[in-house]
A and B are shown apart, each in its own frame.
Chain A
Amino acid sequence: MAQVHNWQLGRDMRYRFEPGKPERQFAAVFNINRCIACQTCTMACKSTWTHSPGQELMWWNNVETKPYGGYPDHWDVKTLALLDEANPGGQVWDGDPVENVRAPYGRFDGQTVFEAADGLTQEAVGYLPEEREWKAPNRFEDHATKFPAAGVSLPEHDGWFFYLARICNHCTYPACLAACPRNAIYKRPKDGIVLVDQERCRGYRKCVEACPYKKTMYRPTTRTTEKCIGCYPRVEGEDPLTQGLPMEPRCMAACVGKIRMHGLVNVEADGTWTNDPTHPLYYLVHEEQVALPLYPQFGTQPNIYYIPPRWVPRDYLRQMFGPGVDQAIERYTRPSRTLLALLQLFRASQRIIYSFDVEEGPKVGELVVGGEVIEMFNDTAVGFDESGGEIVRVDVEEPIFERPGKLNSI
Chain B
Amino acid sequence: MLSYRRSRALGWLSTRRIVFFAFVMLTALVLRVMDVNPAVAQSRSVTAWKVAESPGLDPDSPIWDEITALTIPLTAQQVTAPVGGGTVPSVRVSAAHHDQTLYVNIEWTDTTLDDGSGAPEEFADAVAIQIPAEHGAAVPAVCMGQADGAVNIWQWRADRQHGLDQLGKGSDFVDLYPNTDELFYPAQRAGNALATPGAEVVQNLVASGFGTLEPASLGVVAGQGRHLDSQWRAVFARPFPAQDDFQPTFKAGVEFDVAFAVWDGRRADRDGQKSVSSFVRLKVSDKTAAQPTTGGSEGGSSTGWLIVLTAAILGFGAYAVFIFLIPKPAPSKEDAV
Contacts and interface: CB of A to CB of B under 8 A. Distances in A.
B186 interface: yes
A189 to B, nearest CB: 20
A92 B139 CA distance: 51
B319 interface: no
Given A120-B83, A128-B121, A130-B121, A202 B271 contact: yes
Contacts of A338: none
A198 B192 contact: yes
Contacts of A57: 120
> Which has the most chain A C-beta neighbours within 10 Å: B81, B173, B180, B213?
B81
A228 interface: no
Given A53-B177, A182-B213, A202-B271, A224 B81 contact: no
B125 interface: no
Interface SS majority for chain A: loop
A52 B177 contact: yes
B181 to A, nearest CB: 9
A218 B270 CA distance: 14
Contacts of B192: 198-201, 222, 224
A120 B79 CA distance: 9
A181 B195 contact: no
A205 interface: yes
Given A52-B185, A53-B177, A208 B120 contact: yes
Interface in A111-151: 119-123, 128-131, 134
A217 B192 CA distance: 17
A203 B188 CA distance: 13
Contacts of B121: 128-131
Contacts of A198: 186-187, 189-190, 192, 195
A53 B195 contact: no
Interface residues of B, number: 36
Contacts of A53: 173-174, 176-177, 180, 184
B117 A203 contact: yes
Interface SS majority for chain B: loop
A128 to B, nearest CB: 5
Interface string B263-276: 00000101111000
B211 A224 contact: no
Contacts of A129: 120-121
Given A128-B268, A222-B185, 14 more contacts: A53-B173, A53-B184, A119-B81, A120-B81, A120-B83, A122-B82, A129-B121, A131-B121, A182-B271, A198-B192, A204-B270, A220-B119, A222-B188, A223-B187
Contacts of A222: 185-188, 192, 194-195
6 contacts: A53-B184, A120-B82, A120-B83, A129-B120, A217-B120, A223-B195
Given A53-B176, A121-B83, A183-B211, A199 B187 contact: yes
B327 interface: no
A206 interface: yes
A204 B271 contact: yes
Contacts of A224: 187, 192, 194-195
A304 to B, nearest CB: 23
B329 interface: no
B170 interface: no
B173 A181 contact: no
Contacts of B194: 202-203, 222-224
A324 to B, nearest CB: 34
Shortest beta-carbon contacts, A-B, top 4: A222-B195, A52-B184, A222-B187, A199-B190
B55 interface: no
B322 interface: no
A222 B188 CA distance: 7
A224 B176 CA distance: 21
Interface in A167-207: 181-183, 197-206
A226 interface: yes
B331 interface: no
A95 interface: no
A181 B211 contact: yes
A123 B191 CA distance: 28
A181 B120 contact: no
Contact of A226 (B81, B159, B186, B273): B186
A51 B271 CA distance: 29
B211 A182 contact: yes
Contacts of A131: 119-122
A159 B206 CA distance: 59
B4 interface: no
Interface string B157-177: 001000000000000011011
